[in-house]
Amino acid sequence: MTAKTDAVEGLRTIAMQAGRLAETGLAFIGDGILLSLEATGFIVLGRLRTKRLIEQMATIGADSLLLCALILFFSGMVLGLNTAKTAVQFGAGSYVGGLVSVSLVRELGPTFTGILVSARAGSAMAAEIGSMAVSEQLDALRALAVSPVRYLVVPRLLASIIVLPLLTIIAEIFGAVGAYIISTQAGVSSSQFIHSASVFLTHWDLFGGLLKAVIFGIIITIVSCRQGMRAQGGAVGVGKATTSAVVISIVLILISDYFLSALLIIPIQK
For 133-156, write each residue's pLDDT tens digit: 998 888 888 888 888 888 899 999
**Is 269 a residue whose pLDDT tops 60?**
no
**Is 110 a residue whose pLDDT tops 60?**
yes
Q: Which long-range contacts (CB under 8 A, 24 or more apart) does 208-212 make?
A: 208/105, 208/106, 208/260, 208/261, 208/264, 209/105, 209/106, 209/109, 209/110, 209/168, 209/172, 210/110, 210/165, 210/168, 210/169, 211/260, 211/264, 212/110, 212/111, 212/114, 212/168, 212/256, 212/257, 212/260
Predicted local confidence at residue 268, as pLDDT: 56
Confidence of residue 4 (pLDDT cuts 50, 70, 90): low
Cβ-based neighbours of 205, under 8 Å, separated by 6 or more? 102, 105, 106
**Is 124 a residue whose pLDDT tops 70?**
yes
Average pLDDT over residues 71-81: 92
Tell me: the pLDDT tens digits for 14-65? 777 777 777 777 877 888 888 888 888 888 887 677 888 898 998 898 888 9
Predicted local confidence at residue 28, as pLDDT: 77
Predicted local confidence at residue 121, as pLDDT: 92
Q: Quote the percentage of the chain above a pLDDT of 90.
A: 45
**End-to-end alpha-carbon separation of the chain, Å?**
63
Alpha-carbon span 5 to 250, nearest angstrom: 41
User: 26-35, 94-103, 140-149, 261-270: lowest mean pLDDT where?
Assistant: 261-270
Predicted local confidence at residue 51, as pLDDT: 84
User: 172-181, 187-196, 246-255: lowest mean pLDDT where?
Assistant: 187-196
Q: Quote the percentage of the chain above a pLDDT of 70.
A: 94
Question: Which pTM was predicted?
Answer: 0.89
Predicted local confidence at residue 211, as pLDDT: 94
Predicted local confidence at residue 260, as pLDDT: 92
**Is 213 a residue whose pLDDT tops 80?**
yes
Confidence of residue 186 (pLDDT cuts 50, 70, 90): confident
